[in-house]
Amino acid sequence: MAKPFLPDHIYKFLFALLGLVYITGLWVPLMDNDSAHHANIALHMHLTGDYVNLVDHNGDYLDKPHLLFWLAAFSYKIFGVTSFAYKFPSLLFTILAVYSTFRLAKILYNKEVGKLSALILASAFAFMLANNDVRMEAMLTGSIAFATWQLAEFIKTKKLLTVAGAALGLALGFSTKGMIAVFVPAIGAFFYILYGKDYKIFLNRKWLLMILMFAVFILPVLYCYYQQFNLHPEKIVRGKDHINGIKFILLNQSVERFGGQTGDTSRQDHLFFLHSFLWAFAPWAVLVYIAVVIRIKKILRRETEWLTTSTFIILLLLVSFSGFKLPHYLNIIFPVAAVMAAALITNAQSPGNLIRSLFIIQLLVSVLLLLAAVVINAWAFPLKNIPLLAGPVLLLAIVFYFLKSNMYNMLQRAVLVPVAAMIVFFFLLNTSFYPQLLKYQGGNMLAVKTREKVDPGNVYFWKETQSSSFNFYTKTLRKQFADSVLQPGQKVWLLYDIRDEAEIKQQYTLGQRFEALDYEITKIDIKFVNPEKRESRCSKMVLGEVYR
């Protein structure tokens, strides 16, 4: 039996604090772009009762499958149309990811590596961030971690229940973001078999049963794509008609993203994910890179398992040379990265230079995190809620207790201090920074300002103006303004950017109005962070009465 790395009560204490931080993020307002946009696709389902067609403000939506939208719409029915309701299903998948990572590491190593792996994953920067700016990543990571665990369990035990579990996990991932959720666990399973030399399992007929069950589980998504696109060749998405919806989600979606048909300015940066991983998996990223280097030397001699290392390296190379690069794509390798980091730490328990190096690295990362928290919450967005100050003060005391206590050795402190630092950082992020930042998102602020003052059903959007957050928090679908909307003697409300006001005044008369500062808060720059220059970086979103 492996020696406990940390006492169970410390694990419970840290997971409880992490859980508290995750819960505080459930009430943070949604951000425009992906988070509020996805919430509105689910809102369309909720308001219309149409759970087959994916529809956003531009019409038919093709890019992602249905699971996130179905679960969010179902959550709206239980909790109402709120930030909490949209985010809650992703929190459940986050818990699934943490537990599945524990079970995967337990199979590959032992229970102690499993517990530490779960703690590392739960405290990773972008993993926690995925529960604030909620897109597909929490659900995708949870599905991949669960499927990988079930596949490893099947390869080890050949039990029928794990066949169903693996098929379900793969189907949940596919129904969240397509075939990438099948590809990642399949890589791990393939190299796990090669490492164990159990080649006969390739001929096991239960694989056919797994494939059949997977096909059955994904039928609802395929049916919906068939209904929305295959039966309607006249529909146009991104300038194309005659869309084969089933072929798109089974093949074209992944091919297009890898080829860069949709992409951004980072597509030529082949080191994009290597340096993005440093902050995305903070405070553990450097440890993962150290683990990979050590493992490469051992892997051919079969001195370490192959599942995690091969998955990490292959996926990192694959996404690095893809044409479409976004940092949150890295979340899919977080479970295996957490296992590698945990194995490195637990195998370094004998005194030596490695332990001292790990401690110094983790201490430096923790200091940087805490300094960033100070800069953000003391200068950029000062903490103004004095009673709330008790939270970070108590949490900082825990950081210093772990750092100074003689009850823990250097290696244990290399884990405890950064976890506590992450708890402080995200507690401040969720309770102070985000609530202040989102005051500069015009849509949700106008929804608050005009509540019970404006009939949201009488609001129209000017030309290309969009605000998913306004629609979400007013529980309405976007309606495009047209001249025909205005009947003689009638007034409507028009939502527009203040930069369009001169054009509007040339054609219509403006009456009562509401304004809110507006900034694309998912793309913060240094001038916006500076309180003295912040308002100069903002535009204004206006909701005004318009008539002839």
How far is residue 406's CA from residue 386's CA, in Å, rounded to a whole number? 33
With beta carbons less than 8 A apart as the criterion, state whether 427 and 376 touch. Answer: no
Which of the residues in the chain have pLDDT under 50? 263, 265
H-helix or E-strand containing 422? helix 410-428
Instruction: Convert the pLDDT of each residue in 351-397 to its tens digit.
Output: 578 899 999 999 999 999 999 999 999 999 999 888 889 999 999 99
168-204: pLDDT as tens digits: 999 999 999 999 999 999 999 999 999 999 999 999 9
At 480 the pLDDT is 96
Terminal C-alpha separation, the chain: 81
DSSP letter at 420? Answer: H
- What pLDDT is stored for residue 265 in this prediction? 47
Q: What is the pLDDT of residue 348?
A: 84
Q: Which residues of 522-546 are buried (b: 16+ CB within 10 A; e: fewer)?
A: eeeeeebbeeeebeebbeebbbbbb
Looking at residue 350, its pLDDT comes to: 62
Residue 320: per-residue pLDDT: 80
Element holding 268 (H helix, E strand): none
Token digits for 405?
Answer: 């206590």
| High-pLDDT (> 90) share of the chain, % | 86
For residue 262, the model assigns a pLDDT of 54
Cα 264 to Cα 130, 197, 217, 330: the distances in Å are 20, 42, 33, 16
